Amino acid sequence: MSSEVIVVRIYLHETEHGRRTTLQQEILTLLHDQHRVRGVTVFRGIAGFGASGTVHAADLLRLTVDLPIVIEFYDEPEVAEAAMKLLNGLVPDGHVIWWSASCRTLGDSHPEPPA
């Protein structure tokens, strides 16, 4: 059995701040407490750069580390879209991507072929 979901990926840096705490923590709290989305994972990158071209990387020569963070979550389209509306005021423009996907139970004896 499969269901349609939306996967959302948010690109940030460790030091970005929200209204009260780190932006990462605010987003996690919002997704957990207000939307109870099916799943959320936070990835910490070892290096990356964005539109500014500034490379953020983990190395021994830098005193401060501002590594890239990716927050990814998924849920039914209605829930994911409602969550994205609330993220609109928190996350910088151009830092969110999303796509439709299928979520399938692996225990199916006769899985549906991809469309």
**CATH number of the structural domain spanning residue 12:** 3.30.70.120
Q: How many domains does the chain have?
A: 1
Q: Is residue 79 part of a domain?
A: yes
- pLDDT of 73 reads 97
Query: Does this model's pTM top 0.75?
Result: yes
Neighbours of 45 (CB within 10 A): 15
Residue 71 falls inside a structural domain = yes
Q: 46-85: per-residue pLDDT in tens?
A: 877 777 777 777 775 665 677 889 999 999 999 999 999 9
Reading phi first (left if > 0) and then psi (alpha if -120 to 50, else beta), residue 87 is in alpha
What pLDDT was estimated at residue 86?
Answer: 87
Reply yes or no on whether the pLDDT at 25 is more than 80.
yes
pLDDT at residue 96, rounded to an integer: 94
| Domain extent for 56 | 2-104
- Residue 104 · residue 1 · CB < 8 Å: yes
Residue 105's pLDDT band (boundaries 50, 70, 90)? Answer: confident
β-sheet with 39-44: strand ranges across: 39-44, 68-75, 2-13, 96-104
Q: Taking 90 as the threshold, does the pLDDT of residue 34 lie above it?
A: no
